[in-house]
Structure 1
Amino acid sequence: MNFPKTGLYAITKTENKTVEQIIADISEAIKGGIKVLQYRDKRPIDPTYLAGALKELCHAGNIPLIINDNITLAKHIGADGVHIGKEDGLLSHARELLGSSAIIGVSCYDSVELALQAQQDSADYVAFGRFFPSSSKPLAAAAHIASLEQAKLRIKVPIVAIGGILPDNGAVLLDAGADLLAVIGGVFSATPYQSTLAYQPLFK
């Protein structure tokens, strides 16, 4: 499955939710029009079961499932790819383990140089952020609009922006060069279907 060129990139919000609630939330978000899902879970109870269930949901909606951090889990359940940060191992290792068709995304924070290196190393997309205050990642270093503008001139793979993105502030990131907007709380802190719909006009 290919990584989308534009659209809403949803990231799971699992804290204080049952597996059933998480699955129901994702189902609603898919109906609302997300283009890709990342399974992110810092305190997993049964990650193999949940990731497998999310894969079935995503594939039924023709949406790729990306696993955050865990290359082994991604391979085990046959996910479409993995997202790695600076502490999650080498991109080359993920590529070797998951194969040439896997989607591999890389966190580049506020560094265009990191993005250029990731692109050279065969990343399928690069992510910048956080751009706005975020309850999901309150301690994450800030990224700047100028980094998106520079990246757009030099990066050929899709560019993802993350961090406190809402329907009323996402347009500035898309205008600056982001192709996809990655959202956690903006979708899953309220009613996922309605929340997802609210972002769709940004991509028209």
Structure 2
Amino acid sequence: MLVPPEHPTMQAKLKFPAGLYGVTPEWDDGIKLQQAVRAAARGGMVALQLRHKGPDRAQRREIALRLKDTCRENGVIFLINDDWRLALEIGADGVHLGRDDDAPSLVRSEVGPDMLMGVSCYSDVARAEGFLSQNVAYIAFGAMFPSRTKPLAPAAPLNVLTSGRALCENLAPLRPGVVAIGGITVENANQITAAGADTIAVVGGLFMAPDVEAAARSLCEKIQPLSN
């Protein structure tokens, strides 16, 4: 009998994991998303972010509940983009905040000390440094490469990952992770991990692949050198 992996929230201290971080495409079909997330988890995905910007909050909540359960069943960390109130309401593991979302300091005061909080830092190392005092779980940089999801996103140089990792190393042993996002594929993932990323966040290169499980497995193989 297969026993599902222990969910990280069962551990004493929840920490954002190194590895493959799936970010959902803008799909409204919750069942289709569940199937894709299960496949990605079988391939080794360790964290998932629900990114659903549609105006229908009831629909977003229904999808979030589906994916939270799916992630729990597969030992995957589950975060929600932007909507920290929904993350708190349904008991998600965390929230991801961008430049146009509520300030991390405000969100931290509302969600408490234990919810994971990731922040977009684009190519701004000073922005990342400012957030490290606010109990963030990770700092995210990108777009590292041209992205189909956000084609107008400004490019971030690889050396921001190196600089970000140096900042985080000073906060060991529970140091925040360094996440890279934007146009990451199996072909270029080695450059990302070599530059200092712990985790790669992938949308199209994972969920738009013909075989999601195989894509996840191939991406995970590229991350292992820095996973420790």
Smaller-chain TM-score range? over 0.9
* CA distance in structure 2 between the aligned counterparts of 1:181 and 1:134, rounded to whole angstroms: 14
Aligned ranges 1:159-178 → 2 under 5 Å: 159-178=178-197
Please list the CA deviations of residues 56-76 of structure 1 after superposition, one character each: whole Å capped at 9, or x if unmatched: 111111211100011111111
Aligned ranges 1:1-204 → 2 under 5 Å: 1=9, 2-15=14-27, 18-43=29-54, 45=56, 46-156=59-169, 157-190=176-209, 191-204=211-224
Please list the CA deviations of residues 69-110 of structure 1 after superposition, one character each: whole Å capped at 9, or x if unmatched: 111111111101100011101112211221111000000000
SS of corresponding position for 2:139: strand
Is the 8 Å Cα contact of residues 14 and 22 (structure 1) preserved in structure 2?
A: no
* CA distance in structure 2 between the aligned counterparts of 1:86 and 1:167, rounded to whole angstroms: 28
* CA distance in structure 1 between the aligned counterparts of 2:185 and 2:40, rounded to whole angstroms: 15
SS of corresponding position for 1:119: helix
Give the 3 Å change call, closer, same or farther, for CA 89–162 of structure 1 in structure 2.
same
Is the 8 Å Cα contact of residues 17 and 46 (structure 2) preserved in structure 1?
A: no
Question: 1:44 Cα deviation (Å)?
Answer: 5.8
Amino acid at match of 1:195: A
* CA distance in structure 1 between the aligned counterparts of 2:114 and 2:108, rounded to whole angstroms: 9
* CA distance in structure 2 between the aligned counterparts of 1:175 and 1:184, rounded to whole angstroms: 21
TM-score by length of 2: 0.85
* CA distance in structure 1 between the aligned counterparts of 2:216 and 2:40, rounded to whole angstroms: 6
Question: 1:176 Cα deviation (Å)?
Answer: 0.7
SS of corresponding position for 2:25: coil
TM-score by length of 1: 0.95
Amino acid at match of 2:33: I
Question: 1:5 Cα deviation (Å)?
Answer: 3.7
Question: 1:14 Cα deviation (Å)?
Answer: 2.8
Structure 1 residue ranges, 4+ long, deviating more than 2 angstroms after superposition: 1-5
Q: 5+ unaligned residues in a row in structure 2: which ranges?
A: 1-8, 170-175
Is the 8 Å Cα contact of residues 16 and 138 (structure 2) preserved in structure 1?
A: no
Q: 5+ unaligned residues in a row in structure 1: which ranges?
A: none
Task: Give me the identity figure in percent.
Answer: 35
Give the 3 Å change call, closer, same or farther, for CA 202–44 of structure 1 in structure 2.
farther
Counting matched residue pairs gives 203
* CA distance in structure 2 between the aligned counterparts of 1:71 and 1:188, rounded to whole angstroms: 24
Is the 8 Å Cα contact of residues 115 and 155 (structure 1) preserved in structure 2?
A: no
Question: 1:124 Cα deviation (Å)?
Answer: 1.2
